[in-house]
Structure 1
C-alpha cells in the first residue's frame, strides 16, 4: 500500500508504514521456543496459506522438482484450503514428478494449532506472487522458523536477508530451490537463522507498533501546531 501511494505521487515523507504485528502473549513462544536439532534428516518445509495461484504454489512445486533432481532430501507440508480444481491440478503435477511421497496435504489448520505445526518444521516457504504483509511470516519466525519467500510486498521488510531467511524473485523456482538448498546444506546457518528469527519477530509486536504509531501522531500534531 505504501509503495502504491508513492507511485501515485504521494511524497515519501508523507507515507508512514505501520507493519503487521503479533501478540507475544497470544503466541507465548518468544521465551519458550524449542529449536530443532535433527541436523541430518530431511529438510522439513512448510507452506501455510490459501491454495491459489497468487500464492505461488506452482513455483513451489517446480522448486521441489529441482530439489529432487539435485538429490536434496526434503519433505513439504501444505496447510490451507483452496478450490478443488486447483488443488487437483497441483496434486497431478506432484504425482507426475514422483513427489507424492514427499508432499503432505494437511488442509485447513485451526489457529490454535498453527504454532505446534511450525515447531515440527525447519523452514516456512512463502512463494507468493503478491502479498502485502503476510502474518504467517511473523508467526513462524516467532516460532523459530527461518523464512524463504518472494521479494514482494512486505516480505522483505520482515525477513532480514541472510539473517532470518532469504527473499528471492517471485515466480523463480531456480532461485527458490537455491535458497532452500543452501539451508539444507548448512544446518549451522539454519540454526542461527532460527534463533535470529525469534529476535526479529519480537520487533513486530503490537506493543512496539503502537509505540511507533503514537510517536508518529505526536509528530503530526507538532507539525500541525507549527503551521498555525
Structure 2
C-alpha cells in the first residue's frame, strides 16, 4: 500500500535507541544519502535520543575485519566498517562508481557475506536497539538479516531509483521494501515510480521529503529582496554523471556567450564524477573553457559560500528523485532554474518560486537564463517566494515525521 501525506502530529514516545545504516557519511560523501543521514541522526540526538550509524562504504580497505572506525559525539556514535572485497569490484558493485550501474548478484552476495559478520559481532556486543533505519538498498541482504536476527523493527528509506530500470537493483529494492515494517520515499514522483515498477508491496510507503539545514533566513531574505544583488556567476552543484545533465547547461551557457558579446558571467561547477574530463573537453570544444570553473567536490559549508555569490542556480538533471540542491540554493536566497523532471517539480512551481524548462533543451534553458539575468526584479520575486515555502523542508519537521513512522512500527 502506498500512502501519501505528511505527519505533523508529533507522537512523542520514550527516548529511543536508533540504529541506522548508510553507504556514505560525512566527511566522505559521494551523494546525498550521507548528508541526509547525518542531519536526520543529529536531529534525533538533539531530541534526546541515542543514534548509532553504521557506515558500510565499499572502498574502505582494512586487512583486519575487526578494525572498525568508531567516533562518538555524545549520543551519536558512528561506526565505519572496512568492506572492500577481494579484487577490484568497486566500479561494478557500487552505483556511485559506475556509469552503467551494472551489478551481479554474486558480487553483491560476496559483499553482504563479508559485511554481515562484522555487523553481527558489533550488534551482539551492544544493548538492543528500538528501531533500525536502513537507507536505500546498497546493503539489502545485511539490512534484512539485522532486522530478522535481532528482531528490530525496520524502516527503509529509498532515496532514488535506477534509470533506466535495472533488473537486479530493482529486485534489491523490492526485497528491501517487502521486508520492511514501513518504508519512506523522498518525493511523490518516486512514490509513483515505485508503484509503477513494483506494483503492490507488502509494506506501507510514506512520502517524507529531504530536509535542508538552515538556522535563519535573515541574510537569505536580504539577498532575495535586493534586486541589485547580482554577482557575475551562475552555479551548478552535483555529481558529474550522465543523469545530472551538466552538458545541457554547458551548451546553454555557450549559447548565451555567442549571442551576447558583453555577457561576462562565469559558470561555476561544483562536484566530481565520471564525466569530469568529458565535460571539460566539451567546454573547450564550445570555446567557453575560460569562463567555466570546475571546482571539484565541495564540503557543505563551501557549497553555501559558493551559492551566496551566485546570481542564478541551475539544475539541468535528466532525472532527479528529489533535488536537494534546489533547496540549498533557495535557502541562500538564490533563484533556481530546474528541468521538468522527477521530484524537482514538487519543489519548483514554474513562474512562482522558480523557473522550469523542458528536459534536455539547452536553447530554452539559455533563453530562461537570459531573461532572469536581465530582470533583477523577477529574480528577486522568485527567490522571495521560494524562501517562504522552505520551512516545511526544515530538519525539525523531517525528524518529527520520521519519528512518527518509528512510533508506528514500535507500537504495532
TM-score by length of 2: 0.47
Q: 1:39 Cα shift?
A: 4.1
What is aligned with 2:139?
Answer: none
Q: 1:208 Cα shift?
A: 3.0
**Maintained 8 Å contact 2:341/2:359:** yes
Q: 1:121 Cα shift?
A: 0.3
- In 1, Cα distance between equivalents of 2:200 and 2:368: 35
- In 2, Cα distance between equivalents of 1:32 and 1:68: 31
**Maintained 8 Å contact 1:30/1:202:** no
Greater Cα shift, 49-58 or 192-201: 192-201
Please, which of 237, 247, 272 is the counterpart of residue 81 of structure 1?
272
Instruction: Determine whether 1:35 maps to 2:226.
Output: no
CA RMSD of superposed structures (Å)? 2.7
CA radius of gyration, larger in: 2
Please, which of 384, 387, 390 is the counterpart of residue 195 of structure 1?
384
Instruction: Determine whether 1:66 maps to 2:255.
Output: yes
Residue segments in structure 1 that go unaligned for 5+ positions in a row: 222-228
- In 1, Cα distance between equivalents of 2:347 and 2:312: 15
User: What's the secondary structure of 2:294's corresponding residue?
Assistant: strand
Residues 1:98 and 1:203: Cα distance change in structure 2 (over 3 Å): same
What is aligned with 1:180?
Answer: 369
Q: 1:19 Cα shift?
A: 1.2
User: What's the secondary structure of 2:366's corresponding residue?
Assistant: helix
What is aligned with 2:344?
Answer: 155
Superposed CA offset, 1:24-76 (max 9, x none)? 2xxx3412324175749675210001111211011111111211222144321
Q: 1:2 Cα shift?
A: 0.7
Q: 1:216 Cα shift?
A: 8.4
- In 1, Cα distance between equivalents of 2:217 and 2:230: 26
Residue segments in structure 2 that go unaligned for 5+ positions in a row: 1-189
Q: 1:213 Cα shift?
A: 5.9
**Maintained 8 Å contact 1:141/1:200:** no
Q: 1:157 Cα shift?
A: 0.6
From the two aligned structures, give the one with the greater helix fraction.
1
Relative CO higher for 1 or 2, CA cutoff 8 Å, sep ≥ 6?
Answer: 1
- In 2, Cα distance between equivalents of 1:50 and 1:98: 23
**Maintained 8 Å contact 2:311/2:373:** no
